[in-house]
Amino acid sequence: MTHASLLLPALWAALGALALGSVAEALHARRCRRLGRLAFGPGSRARRWTAAAPGLRVMGLAGMVWALVVLLAHDGSSRARERNVAATRHLMVALDVSPSMELADAGDAGVQTRRARAAALIKSVMERAVSDRVKITMACFYRDAMLLVRECADRELIWNFADNLPLHLAFLPGKTDLVKSLNSIGGMIREFPRKSTTVLVITDGDTVPDSGLKPMPSAVGELIVVGVGEATRGTFIDGHLSRQDHAALSQLARRLGGHYHNGNAKQVPSDRLRRLTAPDDRARPFRLDLRTLAIFVLAGGALLVCVLPVLLEWLGSAWRPARTSVSETPPPAARLPAEVVL
């Protein structure tokens, strides 16, 4: 339900509560006039400020009804609605899906597959980039790069792509071309605002050509090349020895103006993600939208309805009935026993 369509039913509900509350207050006022001397003493009048109590009570009830209708009919939680806000920062995830990523030589014990280690690294980064204004674009690469999703706010979708999908089947068999893939990834994010994108490249660095690399577009503010897989020993696949070449990946990161991180056993450091996880200076710290206004109206109406009876009890009238303690009450006259007539 949109904001405009919320206003009319909420307004009618508030007017209905206002009418019912006014009728109830009129009946209550007539009863108070009949019992005025008993309630307020000989003057039969309360203090002047109490004349505003019926109106305040009715307004509080109407405001509560309006706020409850808005909150009940509102479309989902605030986080679900914020998924459509304009992005101010982007995370570009480039995941290597070559067959060598299925080799099990990653992790602390060296028994985790490179693909599973890459998925754990991506999940760790997404858990730290929790802002709704961070949109995620993801691409996989093998012989070239393929765009999977663009400007997505659903972290579970990204996690599903990284976790258990055989994405290498979407490519023709061949050698991994990391340089060509990075050039294609640069074209995917070229239209993003300047310095708004953090590029996260996760690969085992199986084959890295020495030439042909183009500079990243101005949209890139931070680039991190993360290597997975054992760097000291390799595993034979497709007729060659596959291992993480940290020297080649480190050189590649420097050529792109970024940083290299060995993610085989450690997560990406938080200081490398400061641009992605820092508070957004362009986002207002507080925004008064319809939902926030309804919460304030509900709190104010509930406060009026709850506090008014207490104020009327203690400050509504200056007359206080006299109270006599039991000890000051004179004892009843003693009755003499009747004479017995014989």
User: Stretch 73-91: mean pLDDT, rounded?
Assistant: 62
pLDDT at 264: 85
**Which of 5-19, 73-87, 94-108, 141-155 is predicted least confidently?**
73-87
Using CA atoms, how far apart are residues 146 and 228, in angstroms rounded to an integer? 20
Same domain, 39 and 161: no
Same domain, 249 and 140: yes
User: Which percentage of the chain shows pLDDT scores above 90?
Assistant: 26
Same domain, 201 and 258: yes
Where residue 333 falls among pLDDT bands split at 50, 70, 90? low
Same domain, 61 and 159: no
Where residue 312 falls among pLDDT bands split at 50, 70, 90? confident
Flag whether pLDDT at 104 surpasses 60.
Answer: yes
Same domain, 172 and 242: yes
If one counts the domains in the chain, the total is 2
Using CA atoms, how far apart are residues 200 and 95, in angstroms rounded to an integer? 8
Where residue 223 falls among pLDDT bands split at 50, 70, 90? very high
Using CA atoms, how far apart are residues 193 and 315, in angstroms rounded to an integer? 61
Sign of CA dihedral 214, 215, 221, 227: positive
Same domain, 137 and 266: yes
Please write the tens of the pLDDT for every residue from 279-298.
Answer: 655 555 556 778 888 899 99
Where residue 340 falls among pLDDT bands split at 50, 70, 90? very low
pLDDT at 98: 87
Same domain, 175 and 62: no
Write the CATH number for 127. Answer: 3.40.50.410
Q: 45 or 174: which carries more pLDDT confidence?
A: 174
87's tokens: 């992005």
User: Residue for token digits 């101010």?
Assistant: 88
Residue 144 belongs to some domain of the structure = yes
Query: Which SS3 state, helix, strand or coil, does residue 194 take?
Result: coil
Same domain, 186 and 53: no
Same domain, 272 and 307: no
pLDDT at 16: 93
Q: Specify which of 113-127, 155-169, 232-246 reaches the highest per-range mean pLDDT.
A: 113-127
Same domain, 181 and 252: yes
Flag whether pLDDT at 77 surpasses 50.
Answer: no
Best CA proximity match to 242, nearest among 101, 97, 96 = 101
Residue 285 belongs to some domain of the structure = no
User: Stretch 332-340: mean pLDDT, rounded?
Assistant: 52
pLDDT at 342: 43
Same domain, 226 and 302: no
Residue 321 belongs to some domain of the structure = no
User: Stretch 240-248: mean pLDDT, rounded?
Assistant: 77
For 181, counting Cβ atoms within 10 Å of its Cβ (0-12 exposed, 13-18 middle, 19+ buried), the class is buried
pLDDT at 111: 83
Whole domain around residue 148: which residue ranges? 86-277
Same domain, 15 and 156: no
